[in-house]
Amino acid sequence: MVALTYLAVAVSAIASTVLGAPAPAADSPDFELGGDHLARRQDYTQNYKTGGSVNFSPGSNGYSVTFSGAQDFVVGKGWSKGTSRNITFSGSTTASGGTVLVSIYGWSKNPLVEYYIQEYSNGQGAAQGTKLGSFDSDGSTYDIWHHQQVNQPSISGTTTFWQYISVRRDKRPGGGTVTTQNHFDAWAKAGLKLGSMDYQVLATEGWGNAGGNSKYTLSG
């Protein structure tokens, strides 16, 4: 990441910097995909951790996580295929240290894009790069940010890709409904196009000795 907050991510025991994280390989002990208990609502569990204490518990329609001294993690629950669904989530997040954020988080391919719809952060969170404007959705104004990651880990290996970031001004750690189509339309109007959708989750993320907890249920 450039200019603002960096995430320290251990990849093959080599430190690099990246906001967010790709899904770990399918043979990772911290990776879950599919399963009968997930099929009714969400079929994808994001579980990425690199240091500190992160205790993640996925459930049939949500997740909980407690963390302390966390160097970098992204955990959450959602769908293996993203789309313009309306996502409703409810619960809470508290932060006692580091940087913590709650977002609708996902990827597209062709072009390769990592995207955030940031609903809460105890600081600036995902916002960095170039601010392209703002728009209103779901009871608040969101600011649009555009940032390039150069030679960083992604769902397509270490490469260069773009991040599209919507940051909600009126933070809502307790939840609400996210109309994802509004964000996709606003990004497209700003010249930021998505490709074919990969996974899409409600995620809690933390770095920089992050401490706190999250607990959410969701539907879409």
Any idea which residues carry the catalytic annotation? 114, 205
- What residue ranges in 52-158 does DSSP mark as E strands? 53-58, 62-79, 86-109, 113-121, 130-137, 140-152
5 in Cβ contact with 208 (< 8 Å): yes
- Three-class secondary structure of residue 181 per DSSP: helix
From CA 83, how far away is CA 22, in angstroms rounded?
18
135 in Cβ contact with 182 (< 8 Å): yes
